[in-house]
Structure formats: C-alpha cells, structure tokens
A and B are shown apart, each in its own frame.
Chain A
C-alpha cells in the first residue's frame, strides 16, 4: 500500500540553526500538510499546501517556517532559526483530489533542539 515517507526519522540541532524536514507524499496526492505533536499532546496543524502555494496556515507557522515542493515528489518544511520550543514530532500528510478521502500520515521526524 502506498505510504507517506519522511526523513530523517530523528534530527538533533543546535538552537538557532536551520533545519529542513523532508517528506515524500503518496504519488497521486495533490494536497499536502505539515502537523506537529509536542510530546504527550495532541497533533496540531501547521500548514496546508496545494497547487504550489500555501492554502492555510496556523498561528504556529510564523516567519521562521516555510514549505516548498522543489520537484514532483518532495515536500519540505524548513525552520530558519530553531528555538527550544520547536522540539516536537513533525508529521507530513497528504490527500488525494477527492475531498471525501482522509489525509494519510507519515511516521514523522523527531526534532530535538539543544
């Protein structure tokens, strides 16, 4: 069964450094999302992306965050200058064109900011 893949599985970075989290969505999907989950808490929406542009973003997704689909397969989340509070699991999700279908998630990247 097709799945969303994310790399790396764990990223450790010094505070203030830039990180790029990578995702390969399911191949025929057109809608892409990033969510994050702080340890022990619920999953929170960050941003949605469709037709090469951001369609919605949350308050968490400030100027330090950006997303990009650099080619036909990858979808990336960049954090320009990481803060301690950025430590979390980051999940990528994708959905097909049919709006009555669910979003499918990858297994996440654990981001640890030191």
Chain B
C-alpha cells in the first residue's frame, strides 16, 4: 500500500504486504531527516534517519528514500506486521536545531 502526499492521512495494508509512507518537506536548506513512529499514548520513537548526501538508507525492514529535487521523503516498511500499526511522522531538522514535523500518516495493518 502507498499514500501520496499529505492528503491521505490513513494507510491501510494487509499483514505481510509492503507499506510506503510518503512525506513532502518544505525547507530546501534541510539536510537531515528523521522518521518517527508514534504509538497510542507514547512519544515519537526514532525509526531511521538520512542525511542529504544520501538518497537511500536501509535499516531492519525499513528503508528511507530521499529525493531532494522534489523535496520528498518516503518510508518503506517490508512485510508489514500488526505491531507496525501506528502514526508515522517525518521530520526535517535544518541546522540541527528544532524538528519540523509533518502531519503524520496513520498506518493500519489488517490481519
């Protein structure tokens, strides 16, 4: 499953499928980006980050892609599991100061 931009705040996928969550950022000067996962009643939990000198970075079951030309970031989750159900936020971190969060996408995993 995949969402496009910030106009589809909920992504529903079948367990075992791959998920793609998209994010557009605003500041051309941003050179560091982070994906956070937020479960109900919890704070944002770090998933993966990427610096602007990279186009792709892989973690365990997650991959982040960065397209600086169109200021677009995506998070790919392989073999989505019920425990992946949460709200996912991208954040840009210009000048390594405050984080600027996107609106968030709710990922629902259907068993």
Contacts and interface: CB of A to CB of B under 8 A. Distances in A.
A20 B44 CA distance: 21
Contacts of A103: 34, 93, 99
Contact of B99 (A4, A35, A107): A35
B97 A48 contact: yes
B100 interface: yes
A29 B93 CA distance: 17
B43 A48 contact: no
A105 B51 contact: no
Contact of B98 (A42, A56, A102, A107): A56
Interface in B26-66: 32, 34, 36, 41-46, 49, 51
Interface residues of A, number: 23
B69 to A, nearest CB: 23
B3 interface: no
Interface residues of B, number: 23
Given A102-B34, A102-B49, A107-B42, A42 B96 contact: no
A100 B101 CA distance: 17
A18 interface: no
A11 B51 CA distance: 37
Contacts of B101: 42-44
Contacts of B103: 42
Given A42-B102, A102-B34, A107 B43 contact: yes
Interface in A39-92: 42-45, 48, 55-56, 58, 91
A89 to B, nearest CB: 8
Interface of B: 32, 34, 36, 41-46, 49, 51, 89, 91, 93, 96-104
